[in-house]
Structure formats: structure tokens, C-alpha cells
């Protein structure tokens, strides 16, 4: 380690005997619970609002819900496989055995749980149910025709196997006091309220199921063509409604909101395939892709209306696909083609099926072939594959609703559902109001921002621009090049505009190296990876003397769905260590577009576009600006449902250069797929001598030898560590005048209410323990805040048709009756209906006042350097989400096989899961910003954690 590096590292540990491995007392754990509300805020202009919550009334406080377990089997005792018929069976039970059930109505969840108001006559009851024409996977009709009008089919329809007998066992499980609902109405939450509201949710789901709706968790979707949005590729967005009961300060309410799920295009199978593969003529269909797309979908066989599940396609075309037909003739069974059977034996005309494979609705050892034109896809079948960029954009574009449209849609939904006529709800004593609940909001003033030349201003309506303004910390863009993957683009004009607009903003954009690197037209049709390789070969050949550039502006042909983007980012960040900005400019490039590009470039190269005025003055928010404060954002990004080999990616960003709270850097790494909790933040494992040492996050290294404070001495740590916070804390320490943070504010995204205790007692607990290992006497104070965007509460102006104003905050009436939470609409909703962010303050040792904490959260929505608008969630979380998402894109293009990944990675994986691949090592040149005052952090080549500049 050289003398220059030694100056910027924390002081080395005291000299200790080399063989000393001190004992460490176990840290006593105390179970933490979400903190209670300390009060409501008072800052801002008060404004009346409406919310999509409807009041719940109740008049049966002394009653009980009785919970019963339901078991359904075939008559012979074998288990049921087709759960889709369970509701029909229970409806038949209620219809047939009403007297035996004590004339009680019940709510059934479609699986194993049944609820009644009051007890059934017996704790255990058995019933025999007979259903006619029940579809069952146990039946197979062989090569039956879809037309059941001839004698053979009429005889078949009368066979006993067309009626099914089922045994239903209903046994007592638990009793839930309705007093919990009465307490919730009074704004008090009791231990049984979750169970009681679950019963009410089941009642509403049953109401929707009886109307023929598709049920997706707590959302339901009617089979109505008016609710479909065609987003291309044979996929429709089905608009429905979400319902959930919420306990609030003013009682129990029903939250109703619009919801969307993806469904397969209903109708003729051939039409779906044409749309799915984007071709105009069936002769161009790829039948291998068709087989995968149709697998397990349900079809209605015309004209019999019999529903079947697709198990595959025939190997031969309909004209040549043979099967054995049973015959009563002396000759015995005969071989016949499916085409001849339907046209000659059944007398059905086939217009185009002869030249295409048949739909197989049978089993592998007993196929049942149907001509494709006689099959129609059943409505409301969920589409669970990942959407393309085009489909996502189309869905967003076509599913937006203005505030008046959304309010009208919700009002119509309430009328159509007619919940108060539901017999089970009536028997429970629950009724639901028909009017939106009125709440009081407050509009917080926008924070003052500082830009270049010491100028300050206050954004209006959550927006600002840099017209005639300079950046607060501009960089010099030097040694840069332009590459063009776009066939049509005026690159010379873009370069001139960047230089000209940069000068206006205070950025010195030097002319780029030589000429623009244009893609060889011969490779435009090649795979994306080859196109990127060839472009880099061209750059390296031309710049052999000058050396590699520090920055590359990459021009792409497509904005949202460029196949080049992922391989290009991977090549630059991982292999070459070059900062890059990708753009897809419109035909008419305006100065505002160029300015937005410059903002991203300045941020990526270490500059600062704007900051909060209080960051320099320190007069405001003393708990942040006068005490060393480390602000952290945490998020986990998950791969698509059909990407089993793509791991989840955990990202943690941390602030730097205190007292600034506008600059951040990120650590990113992989973890087990679909795991939301960030694992290995801090982990005690036995070393070679059996003593506990940390293999977690907080560790400093002193020239490749790692020590952790353990009581009065130090323990040597293995080099194979996951260290999400290690670089971030080190960076905060060195960039903040060698100050340790005394306050640590953690913003956590992506967790549900049920995971709050895990955040407090796993993630926060590990961080606290890690601080003790860094230094025994270091006890920073923590504040933990959860940010939720995935909720269904919306706000509307009481008098007006526009979205609520930016800065609107609600912390009363519809918030949690006990916990410390609030809703904030920090941004200006220009399109659709604004979705507020729901913040939950789980823990607050720093002891912010309510107004100060809300002001801090609001202000952190204005420091996102890539935007000139307030954003909907605080910047640390937005950066963490950005880093995780971008590294997820890079991970898609890793070339290692799973076996190779497993051999070099010793991380924990869940049983049956693919091994977790490590994060690719970022090229060391990307670790340092170009400004001379910045520095390299110690580079450990084995380290699997990726360290990013805060705006990459």
C-alpha cells in the first residue's frame, strides 16, 4: 500500500498478537415492532380531497365468524385434481343440503376455507354431491368429434362417467369474534382484525366468482369486451377492479381501485397465433413456437361448446395425421386421417385445417385431435409470460385514466357489484357506503434549489428547467467518441448541439475524437452481441494511438426495445470500463432534448446538476445538515416469472460528501431468485478456529488484509465476502472529511406490510450488529422508512378535475390507526391519475418531528439528478431501483453456464432453485469519476459486489 493510499484510509487497527482470536459475547436481540404515530403534521396549505375508500358500517358486534376446513375427494376417496370445479361443488352442497346446514349461507374461498356467521349444526359434516357433465382430467373421450348430434355421441353423453360423485367434508377449524370489526369501526386495531377482514374479503371474492369473473388475488375481471385493451402479440389487457378492506384512523373502509391483468386473446386459435407471431398468413406460422404458446391453454370445441385443455399439437398435418377409429364392422378397427374422419365420417367442412397441425386435447399416450378451426380460446385466460417493450408501452398508453374517468369507473363498479344485496354480507351485519370518503390533505411548498453561480429558485408545480441557467457542478467532457447504430441520424448536428448547449449550462464539451463511428451495414442484421463486438473492433482499430475513450455517446435506432442496449452496456461497464450514454433521438431534435441528455452525462461523469439550498446553508433540518448523516436507499429487483435462471438483484445506494444529500453511489449484487429480504447484510460464521466472524456487509480492508473489531481485539475475515455496504460506508467516511455517520436514514422499497417485522428484525438488526463489529463504541442512530408504490389508494380534488397538486400529503383519517405512516404525492401527475407513495416510518431513533421528517422525504424527491421534475419516490430508492434494473439487463447477457456459475459461487440457494450466479466484476476504470479530486477505492479482484457511480 503506497503512502497516498494510506492517507485516505481509516487508521489501522492496533497491533495485536497474530494468533489472538478473542471471544465475542452474543448480541442480545430485542424484537422490534413498527413505531406508533407521534402526531400529524401541520405544515402546508390545507386542501379537501376525496379518496377511493368507502365507509363500512357494522351492527353485529356480538356475533362470530366460524371458520371451517373443506376437503373434497372423488367418491372412491382419491384426491381432486381440478380445483376449478370446487366452487360448483360447494354451491351444490348449499343447494342440496340447506336444511342440514342450518339454513346458513357461507363464504367459500374456492380452496380449503369456508366461513359462516354463527356455527353449523355439527363440527364435522360429510356430504355426497353429484354434478352432471363435470369436466375432469380423469376422463378422456379418445378421438371424439366436437359435433355431438349423431347417435354415437348421444349414447356417449348418457354414459355414467358424464356425471360425477364427490365427497365433501366440512370440519370446524376456528372461531373469529366479530367484535374485531366493531373495534376497527371505532379506529382501534385488535388481534383478530386481520382474520375478520379476511372473511369479508372472501365474501366479496365469492360475490365476483358468482358473476363469472376471473379472480386474481384481490382483483376480479368481468368477461366484457369493453374492458379489453389489445396490446399486441395476441395479448389483451383486461381491466377489472381491486377490493380490500383497510383499517384506518376513522374506522374500517373498503378500498376499490381499477386493476389490470394480462389475458390471452379469446376467439379462434388461428387468430391468436397470427397475432402472437405478428404474421398475416397462417402459412408463415412457426409451429414450434405455436406449440409452446398454446401449451395448457383451454379451448372451446365448436359447435359442442365442450371445454378442453391443450396438451400439444399433432406431429403431422391434419390431412396426414392418422389415428385408430373404433369400428363395429367385422374388419375391426381402422386407420383414418383426422381430416377424412371429420369431412367424411362426420360430414363437417374444413376450410383450412387440412394443411396445419391439429390441436391435441388428449394425453400423450392417448391423443385426442381436433382440427384447429374448430377450436376457440376460452375468455379470461391469464397470460403469465413477460411482455415485450412494445406491449408494455401499449399497455401504459391505453390503460391510463384521468381522475374523472377513474372516479366514474369506480362508482359504476360499486353499483354493478351491489355488495349490500349479498346475503352473506347482510347476515354478517356489514354494509358498505356508496360515496367516496372525504379527507384533508396539505400541500407542502417545494424546496428551494441551488444551481450554478450561486443562483437559487423555487420550482413551480413540481417542475423546473435549465433555460438560461447553469449547472451547479459541471464537468468537462473530454476524450469522447460517438458511435451510431442508427441508420438515419444527423450525428454532426447532435454533436454541435451538445457542445453549444453544454456551454450555455457551464459544461465544457470538447469536440469528440475524429469522426463518428458508423455501424457497418453488413452487420445490421447480425445478433446484437456480434454488432457490439464489431463496433468495438472498429473503435480499437481507429484509436490505437489515442487510447480508449473516457466517454461514449451511443446512438440507437430504437428507444424502448433496442436489442443492442444490454450487450452494449455490458461491454462498456464490465470489460472496458467506459462511461456511456445511450440515446434514440427523434427526427426533430430540440434544445430541451439535448439539455436532458447533458444532465445525464454530467451526472454520470461526477458532476452535480442542482442541489437543495439547505445542503449549503445548514440552517434548515439541523438533524441532517449539522450531524453527519448517511442516507441509504435499498431495493431488490426480480427477474420475469419465466426467467428461472435470472437471479434477484439487491441494490443499496448511499449518500456521500456530507452535508450533501444529493450525491449517491450504489452497491449491487445477486441473491437467490424471488427473495425480497436482502440476505448476508451481516452474517456470523465460524472461522478455522471455530470462532464467530462476520461475513456480511460492514468491513474495511487494510491492503488486502481484512479486520473487524471484535471486543478488545480483531478477527481475520475470509476474503470471500458479500459486502453491500462496505464501499458505501468507506466512501461516505472519506468523502465527508473522515467523519463517521452519527445518523443513518434507511429508505427501503419493495416490501409489503407483512414483511415490516423482517425489515426491522433481520435487515436493521444485521446492520446494527455490523456497526458494533466495525467499532465497539460506534452507536449511530437509525431511522427506517418503507416506501410503497404497489397499493391502491388514490386521491382526487374535491372541487376540480385535475390531479392533486405536487407536494400533497395525507397523514390522517385513512392512514393506519396506530402505526406512523403517510401518503405523499410529490410529483405532478400530467397523465392519468397520480399514485401517491405510501411511506411507513418503522423506526426513528433520531426522533424527527413529524413536519421535519415529512419535509425531508418531500425534499429528497427533488434531488434526482436525471430529471428536472420532482419524482414520485425519494431519490435514494429511485437510484437503487435504477442500479438493480440496469445490472439485471447486464446479467441477461452473461455467457457462463449454470454449472460454471455454481462452481465459482458458494452462495446459498433455495432447494430446487438454479444456483445464484455472481455479479460480474465492474471494470476498475468505472469506479472512479473523472474529476481529479475523486479516487479509486481499493480494488479486490475476487469481490463479487458491483460498485457503481450513482447515476449509471
CB 262 within 8 A of CB 394: no
What would the mean pLDDT of 116-127 be, rounded to a whole number?
91
Q: Which three cell numbers stand for residue 620?
A: 434548515
Residue pair 43/444 in contact (Cβ under 8 Å)? The answer is yes
Read off the pLDDT of residues 522-550 as tens digits, 9 standing for 90 and up.
888 888 899 999 999 998 888 888 888 89
- In whole angstroms, give the CA distance from residue 853 to residue 844: 10
- pLDDT confidence of 6, banded at 50, 70, 90? very low
Residues 248-254 have a mean pLDDT of 90
- What is the C-alpha end-to-end distance of the chain, expressed in Å? 29
Which tens digit of pLDDT belongs to each residue from 616-665? 887 778 899 999 999 999 888 766 555 556 677 888 889 999 999 999 88
The pLDDT value recorded for residue 679 is 54
Over residues 799-805, the mean pLDDT reads 89
**Cα separation, 390 vs 388, whole angstroms:** 5
Written as one string, the DSSP assignment of 862-929 is G--TT-SB--SS-HHHHHHHHHHHHHHHHHTT----HHHHHHH------TTSPP-PPPPPPPGGGGS-
pLDDT of residue 599: 94
Asked if the model's pLDDT at residue 483 lies above 90, the reply is yes
Reply yes or no on whether the pLDDT at 707 is more than 50.
Answer: no
* Residue 171 clears pLDDT 80, i.e. is over it: yes
- Determine the average pLDDT of the residues in 341-354: 82
Integer Cα distance of 826 and 841 in angstroms: 17
Any idea which residue has 376437503 for its cell? 71
pLDDT at res. 169:
92
Concatenating the DSSP letter of every residue in 399-416 gives H---HHHHHHHHHHHHHH
Q: Is the pLDDT confidence value at 28 over 80?
A: no
Is residue 130 over pLDDT 50? yes
At 316, is the pLDDT very low, low, confident or very high (cuts 50, 70, 90)?
confident
DSSP, collapsed to helix, strand or coil, labels residue 67 as: strand
pLDDT at 816: 92
What confidence score (pLDDT) does residue 713 get?
26
Whole-Å CA distances, 433 to 208, 253, 415, 754, 812: 18, 9, 11, 28, 20
Q: Is residue 806 over pLDDT 80?
A: yes
Q: Give the rounded percent of residues in the chain with a pLDDT score beyond 70.
A: 79
Q: What is the pLDDT of residues 421-459, one digit of tens each?
A: 888 888 888 899 989 999 999 999 999 999 988 899 999
Confidence of residue 66 (pLDDT cuts 50, 70, 90): very high
Three cell numbers at 238?
383486461
Q: Assess whether pLDDT exceeds 90 at residue 158.
A: no
> Phi/psi at 851 (nearest 5 deg)?
-65, -40
Q: Which residues contact 38 (CB under 8 A, 6 or more apart)?
A: 820, 850
H-type alpha helices, 557-606: 565-570, 591-604
The Cα–Cα gap between 922 and 570 comes to 9
Give the mean pLDDT of 487-514.
Answer: 90
Query: If you write DSSP's letter for every residue of 703-738 in order, what string do you get?
Result: TTEEEEEETTEEEE--S----TTHHHHHHHHHHTTS
pLDDT of residue 142: 37
Predicted local confidence at residue 678, as pLDDT: 55
Residue 216 CB neighbours (<10 A): 17
- Alpha-helix residue ranges (DSSP H) falling in 456-527: 491-504
When pLDDT is averaged across residues 715-720 and rounded to a whole number, the result is 25
Higher pLDDT, 937 or 111: 111
> How far, in Å, CA of 131 to CA of 31, rounded?
52
Q: Does residue 677 carry a pLDDT above 90?
A: no
Q: Calculate mean pLDDT across residues 307-331.
A: 80
**Residue 643: Cβ within 10 Å count:** 15
Task: Name the most confidently modeled range: 25-39, 347-361, 677-691.
Answer: 347-361
pLDDT tens-digit profile of 220-238?
998 888 889 898 888 999 8
Radius of gyration of the chain (CA): 32
- Length of the chain measured in residues: 952
Categorize the per-residue pLDDT at 346 as very low, low, confident or very high, splitting at 50, 70 and 90.
confident
How does pLDDT run across 734-783, given as a tens digit for each residue? 889 888 899 999 999 878 888 888 889 888 887 787 777 667 788 899 99
For residue 552, the model assigns a pLDDT of 92
Q: Looking at the predicted structure, is the pLDDT value of residue 516 above 80?
A: yes
Q: Are 859 and 809 in contact (CB under 8 A)?
A: no
Contact in structure between 881 and 635 (CB atoms under 8 Å): yes
Q: What angle separates helix 269-277 from helix 287-294, to the nearest 10 degrees?
A: 120
Rounded Cα distance between 859 and 444, Å, is: 10
Q: Is it the case that residue 946 has pLDDT exceeding 60?
A: no
**How many whole angstroms separate alpha carbon 49 and alpha carbon 796?**
6
Mean pLDDT of the chain: 79
290 CB burial (10 A radius; 0-12, 13-18, 19+): buried
The set of cell numbers assigned to 382 is 391469464
Which phi and psi angles does 162 have, rounded to 5°?
-80, -15
Q: Using 50, 70 and 90 to split pLDDT, how confident is the model at 61?
A: confident
pLDDT for residue 720 is more than 70: no
> Residue 319's pLDDT is what?
86
In this predicted structure, the answer to whether residue 930 has a pLDDT above a threshold of 90 is no
DSSP-derived secondary structure for 201-230: HHHHHHHHHHTT-EEETTEEE---GGGEEE
pLDDT at 917: 52
Using 50, 70 and 90 to split pLDDT, how confident is the model at 838? very high
- The 10s digit of each residue's pLDDT in 882-920 is 888 877 777 666 543 333 333 333 333 444 455 555 555
* Confidence tier at 250 by pLDDT (50, 70, 90): confident
Does 475 have pLDDT greater than 70? yes
Q: Is the pLDDT of residue 122 over 80?
A: yes
Phi, psi of 578 (to 5 degrees): -120, 130
69 vs 950: which has the higher pLDDT:
69
24 has a pLDDT exceeding 90: no
pLDDT tens figures, 571-584: 888 788 888 999 99
Identify whether the C-beta of residue 816 lies closer than 8 Å to the C-beta of residue 841: no
Give yes or no for residue 595 having a pLDDT over 90.
Answer: yes
Confidence of residue 68 (pLDDT cuts 50, 70, 90): very high
Lowest-confidence pick of 1-15, 113-127, 179-193: 1-15
For residue 119, pLDDT over 80 is answered with yes
Amino acid at each position: 500500500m503506497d503512502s497516498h493510499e494510506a492517507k485516505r484510509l481509516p487508521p489501522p487497527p492496533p497491533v495485536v498478537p497474530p494468533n489472538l482470536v478473542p471471544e465475542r459475547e452474543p448480541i442480545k436481540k430485542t424484537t422490534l415492532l413498527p413505531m406508533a404515530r407521534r402526531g400529524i403534521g401541520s405544515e402546508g396549505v390545507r386542501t379537501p380531497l376525496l379518496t377511493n375508500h368507502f365507509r363500512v358500517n357494522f351492527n353485529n358486534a356480538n356475533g362470530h365468524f366460524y371458520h371451517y376446513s373443506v376437503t373434497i375427494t372423488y367418491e372412491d376417496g382419491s384426491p381432486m385434481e381440478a380445483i376449478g370445479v370446487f366452487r360448483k361443488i360447494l354451491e351444490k352442497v348449499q343447494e342440496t343440503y340447506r336444511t342440514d346446514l342450518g339454513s346458513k349461507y357461507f363464504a367459500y374461498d374456492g380452496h380449503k376455507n369456508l366461513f359462516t356467521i354463527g356455527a353449523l349444526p355439527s363440527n364435522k359434516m360429510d356430504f355426497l354431491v353429484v354434478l352432471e357433465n363435470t369436466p375432469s382430467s380423469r376422463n378422456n373421450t379418445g378421438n371424439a368429434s366436437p359435433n355431438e348430434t349423431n347417435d354415437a355421441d348421444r349414447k356417449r353423453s348418457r354414459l355414467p362417467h358424464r356425471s360425477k360423485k364427490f365427497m365433501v367434508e366440512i370440519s370446524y377449524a376456528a372461531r373469529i369474534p366479530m367484535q374485531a370489526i366493531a373495534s376497527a369501526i371505532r379506529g382501534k386495531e385488535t388481534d383478530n382484525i386481520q382474520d375478520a377482514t379476511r372473511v369479508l374479503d372472501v365474501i366479496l371474492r365469492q360475490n365476483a366468482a358468482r358473476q363469472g369473473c376471473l379472480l386474481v388475488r384481490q382483483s376480479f375481471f368481468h368477461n366484457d369486451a369493453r374492458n379489453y385493451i389489445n396490446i399486441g402479440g395476441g395479448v389483451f389487457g383486461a381491466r377489472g377492479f381491486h377490493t380490500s378492506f383497510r383499517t384506518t384512523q376513522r374506522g374500517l373502509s373498503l378500498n376499490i381501485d381499477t386493476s389490470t391483468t394480462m389475458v390471452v386473446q379469446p376467439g379462434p386459435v388461428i387468430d391468436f397465433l397470427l397475432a402472437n407471431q405478428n404474421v398475416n398468413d397462417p402459412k408463415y406460422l412457426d409451429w414450434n413456437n405455436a406449440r409452446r404458446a398454446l401449451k395448457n391453454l383451454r379451448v372451446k370445441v365448436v359447435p359442442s361448446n365442450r371445454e378442453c385443455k391443450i396438451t400439444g399439437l399433432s406431429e403431422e398435418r391434419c390431412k396426414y395425421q392418422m389415428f385408430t377409429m373404433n369400428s363395429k364392422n367385422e374388419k375391426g378397427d381402422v386407420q383414418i386421417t383426422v381430416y377424412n374422419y371429420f369431412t367424411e365420417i362426420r360430414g363437417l367442412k374444413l376450410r383450412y385445417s387440412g394443411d396445419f397441425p391439429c390441436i391435441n386435447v388428449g394425453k400423450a399416450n392417448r391423443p385426442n385431435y381436433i382440427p384447429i378451426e374448430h377450436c376457440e380460446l376460452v375468455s379470461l385466460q391469464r397470460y403469465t409470460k413477460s411482455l415485450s417493450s412494445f406491449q408494455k408501452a401499449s399497455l401504459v398508453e391505453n390503460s391510463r385514466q384521468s381522475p374523472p374517468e377513474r372516479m366514474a369507473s369506480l362508482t359504476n363498479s360499486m353499483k354493478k357489484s351491489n355488495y349490500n344485496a349479498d346475503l352473506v354480507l347482510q347476515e354478517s351485519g356489514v354494509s358498505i357506503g356508496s360515496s367516496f370518503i372525504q379527507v384533508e390533505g396539505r400541500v407542502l411548498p417545494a424546496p428551494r434549489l441551488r444551481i450554478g453561480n450561486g443562483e437559487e429558485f423555487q420550482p413551480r408545480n413540481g417542475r423546473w428547467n435549465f433555460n438560461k441557467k447553469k449547472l451547479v457542478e459541471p464537468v468537462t467532457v473530454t476524450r469522447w467518441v460517438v458511435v451510431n447504430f442508427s441508420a438515419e441520424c444527423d450525428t454532426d448536428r447532435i454533436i454541435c448541439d451538445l457542445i453549444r448547449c453544454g456551454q450555455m449550462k457551464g459544461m465544457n464539451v470538447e469536440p469528440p475524437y475524429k469522426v463518428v463511428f458508423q455501424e457497418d451495414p453488413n452487420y445490421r442484421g447480425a445478433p446484437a452481441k456480434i454488432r457490439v463486438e464489431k463496433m468495438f473492433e472498429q473503435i480499437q482499430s481507429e484509436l490505437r494511438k489515442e487510447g480508449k475513450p473516457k466517454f461514449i455517446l451511443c446512438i440507437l435506432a430504437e428507444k424502448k426495445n433496442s436489442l443492442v442496449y444490454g450487450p452494449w452496456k455490458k461491454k462498456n461497464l464490465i470489460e472496458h470500463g467506459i462511461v456511456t450514454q445511450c440515446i434514440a433521438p427523434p427526427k426533430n431534435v430540440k434544445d430541451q432534448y439535448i439539455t436532458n441528455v447533458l444532465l445525464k452525462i454530467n451526472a454520470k461523469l461526477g458532476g452535480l446538476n442542482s442541489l437543495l439550498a439547505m445542503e449549503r446553508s445548514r440552517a434548515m433540518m439541523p438533524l441532517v445538515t449539522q450531524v453527519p448523516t448517511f442516507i441509504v436507499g435499498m431495493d431488490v429487483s426480480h427477474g420475469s416469472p419465466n426467467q428461472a435462471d435470472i437471479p434477484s438483484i439487491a441494490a443499496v445506494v448511499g449518500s456521500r460528501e456530507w452535508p450533501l444529500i444529493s450525491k449517491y453511489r450504489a452497491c449491487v449484487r445477486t441473491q437467490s431468485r424471488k427473495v425480497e429480504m436482502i440476505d448476508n447484510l451481516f452474517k456470523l460464521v465460524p472461522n478455522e478456529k471455530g470462532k464467530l466472524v462476520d461475513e456480511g456487509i460492514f468491513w474495511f480492508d487494510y491492503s488486502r488484509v481484512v479486520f473487524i473489531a471484535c471486543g478488545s481485539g480483531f478477527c481475520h475475515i475470509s476474503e470471500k465476502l458479500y459486502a453491500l455496504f462496505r464501499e458505501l460506508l468507506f466512501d461516505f467516511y472519506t468523502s465527508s472529511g473522515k467523519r463517521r455517520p452519527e445518523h443513518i436514514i434507511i429508505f427501503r422499497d419493495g416490501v409489503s406490510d407483512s414483511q415490516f417485522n423482517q425489515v426491522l428484525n433481520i435487515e436493521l438488526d444485521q446492520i446494527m450488529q455490523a456497526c458494533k463489529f466495525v467499532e465497539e463504541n460506534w452507536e449511530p442512530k437509525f431511522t427506517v422508512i418503507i416506501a410503497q408504490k404497489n397499493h391502491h389508494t388514490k386521491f382526487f380534488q374535491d372541487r376540480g378535475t385535475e390531479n392533486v397538486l405536487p407536494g400533497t400529503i395525507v397523514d390522517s383519517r385513512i392512514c393506519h390507526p396506530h402505526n406512523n405512516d403517510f401518503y405523499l404525492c410529490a410529483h405532478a401527475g400530467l397523465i392519468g391519475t397520480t399514485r401517491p407513495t405510501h411511506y411507513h416510518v418503522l423506526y426513528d431513533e433520531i426522533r424527527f418531528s413529524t413536519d421535519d421528517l415529512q419535509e425531508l422525504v418531500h425534499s429528497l424527491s427533488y434531488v434526482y439528478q436525471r430529471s428536472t421534475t420532482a419524482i414520485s419516490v425519494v431519490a435514494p430508492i429511485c437510484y437503487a431501483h435504477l442500479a438493480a434494473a440496469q445490472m439485471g439487463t447486464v446479467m441477461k447477457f452473461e455467457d457462463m453456464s449454470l454449472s460454471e456459475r455454481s462452481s465459482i459461487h458458494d452462495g446459498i440457494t433455495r432447494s430446487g432453485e438454479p444456483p445464484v450466479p455472481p455479479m460480474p466484476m465492474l471494470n476498475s476504470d468505472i469506479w472512479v469519476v473523472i474529476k481529479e479530486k475523486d479516487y479509486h477505492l481499493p480494488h479486490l479482484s475476487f469481490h463479487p459486489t458491483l460498485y457503481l457511480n450513482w447515476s449509471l
